[in-house]
């Protein structure tokens, strides 16, 4: 009887051609380093950390720096990835030379060129500073205000891409000034303020437009806050905003969180003399209320509550009677003070001294024990 044949497993057929690995596609795009502005150049700008050079301005929202001190934010790293991606795309379609020409026309109105003796590349003359003003760490340069004024007129990503060198120069100038003030805050103003890195103090220029009817992507000012924890955190702070015609120095605690607000109101209820002593101080009232003499408690409270009335309650807070003797202070949700600064002060050689003097007169309010600690 014949035996059934054993089934042999089929062997895979050998390919006539040797297997070759498919070539990987390589992107033709390459990221170019950000160009330095030939119009704005701070003497010590090259000393900045190399990480700063990787930052760009024209992509993403400033969800992590809304100047409220909140913590519901998008990370800086995620935003920077998006910015660098947009920068790479832009630089592919618009070479550096064209961007440089566009920048020169936007600021100086002229595009004079000369040949570089080394490689014959056309480069722009550096626009002269207004009035021959030199850059200084003790003040803000007029060119920085000029950039912010132009940004207010052209508040869109395309314009800022074309004028990125001007943004970087203005940002560097402002941060050098902040660094200079930072070194003296503990000595001349408030010894509870630590000397933190500038990146922990300065707000980014992006606006948080996620829930806003105003979809313009950028703030039209540079701003910074000093507190025990920098620009973020629950503590009262010193604040500076630089904007043409609208520069402002302020301090205190703005939009206090629920727990902090409860502590403040409890202190006002139990010991109102503490806050009133701050408000009636001669230097404080003279600087922020325009008083030539010491104000009485009633006048000081009226002036202070008027400056913080925008977000104040219309009636008494819970657990406090409507006829409380200090109901005007108890209704407040912000406890801030501030002063407008004219442009000629912002760009004056002694601006740092003027600013620290304002902050020194503000210190009794910032140093008030808002958190009960």
pLDDT tens across 291-320, in order? 767 778 999 999 999 999 999 999 999 999
Q: Is it the case that residue 373 has pLDDT exceeding 90?
A: no
Q: Is it the case that residue 252 has pLDDT exceeding 80?
A: yes
Question: If you write DSSP's letter for every residue of 147-208 in order, what string do you get?
Answer: HHHHHHHS-SHHHHHHTHHHHHHHHHHHHHHHHHHHHHIIIII-TTS----GGGTBPPSB--
Any bridge partners for residue 336, and if so which? Answer: 252
Binned at pLDDT 50, 70 and 90, residue 81 comes out as very low
Tokens representing 50 are 């190399």
Q: Are 214 and 155 in contact (CB under 8 A)?
A: no
Residues 178-185 have a mean pLDDT of 96
What is the pTM (predicted TM-score) of this model?
0.69
Binned at pLDDT 50, 70 and 90, residue 133 comes out as confident
Q: Write the pLDDT tens digit of every residue in 33-65.
A: 444 443 334 444 444 444 444 344 555 444 455
State how far the Cα of 91 lies from the Cα of 101, in Å rounded to an integer.
Answer: 14
Average pLDDT, the chain: 77
Tokens representing 10 are 């089929």
Binned at pLDDT 50, 70 and 90, residue 13 comes out as low
**Residue 122, phi then psi, degrees to nearest 5:** -75, 130
Q: How many helices (H) and strands (E) does the chain have?
A: 13, 6
Q: Is it the case that residue 130 has pLDDT exceeding 70?
A: no
Higher pLDDT, 364 or 89: 364
Q: Are 62 and 208 in contact (CB under 8 A)?
A: yes
Q: What percent of the chain has pLDDT over 90?
A: 60
Q: Is it the case that residue 70 has pLDDT exceeding 80?
A: no
DSSP state of 372: -
The residues, ordered by sequence, that sit 6+ positions from 368 with a Cβ below 8 Å of its Cβ are 236, 274, 275, 278, 335
State how far the Cα of 242 lies from the Cα of 205, in Å rounded to an integer.
Answer: 12
Sign of the alpha-carbon dihedral angle for 260, 261, 266, 268: positive
Highest mean pLDDT among 6-20, 92-106, 336-350: 336-350
* pLDDT for 84: 44
């Amino acid at each position: 009887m014949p035996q059934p044949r054993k089934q042999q497993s089929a062997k895979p057929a050998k390919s006539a051609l040797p297997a070759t690995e498919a070539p990987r596609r390589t992107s033709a795009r390459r990221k170019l380093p950000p160009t330095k502005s030939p119009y704005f150049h701070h003497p010590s700008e090259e000393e900045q950390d190399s990480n700063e050079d990787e930052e760009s301005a024209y992509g993403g929202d400033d969800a992590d720096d809304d100047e409220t001190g909140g913590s519901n934010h998008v990370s800086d790293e995620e935003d920077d990835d998006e910015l660098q991606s947009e920068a790479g795309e832009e630089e592919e379609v618009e070479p550096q030379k064209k961007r440089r020409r566009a920048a020169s026309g936007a600021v100086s109105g002229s595009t004079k060129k000369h040949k570089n003796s080394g490689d014959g590349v056309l480069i722009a003359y550096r626009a002269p500073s207004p009035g021959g003003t030199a850059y200084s760490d003790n003040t803000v340069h007029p060119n920085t205000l000029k950039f912010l004024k132009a940004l207010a007129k052209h508040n869109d990503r395309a314009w800022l891409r074309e004028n990125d060198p001007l943004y970087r120069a203005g940002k560097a100038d402002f941060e050098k000034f902040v660094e200079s003030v930072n070194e003296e805050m503990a000595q001349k103003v408030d010894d509870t303020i630590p000397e933190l890195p500038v990146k922990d103090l300065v707000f980014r220029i992006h606006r948080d437009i996620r829930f806003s009817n105003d979809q313009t992507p950028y703030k039209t000012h540079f701003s910074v806050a000093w507190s025990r924890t920098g620009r973020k955190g629950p503590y009262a702070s010193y604040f500076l905003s630089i904007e043409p015609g609208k520069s402002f120095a302020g301090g205190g605690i703005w939009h206090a969180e629920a727990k902090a607000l409860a502590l403040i109101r409890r202190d006002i209820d139990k010991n109102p003399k503490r806050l009133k002593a701050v408000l009636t101080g001669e230097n404080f009232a003279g600087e922020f209320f325009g008083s030539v003499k010491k104000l009485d408690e009633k006048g000081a409270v009226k002036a202070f509550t008027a400056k913080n009335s925008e977000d104040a309650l219309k009636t008494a807070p819970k657990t406090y009677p409507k006829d409380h003797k200090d109901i005007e202070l108890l209704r407040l949700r912000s406890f801030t003070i501030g002063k407008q600064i004219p442009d000629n002060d912002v760009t004056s050689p002694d601006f740092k001294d003027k600013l620290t003097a304002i902050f020194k007169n503000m210190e009794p309010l910032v140093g008030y024990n808002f958190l009960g600690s």
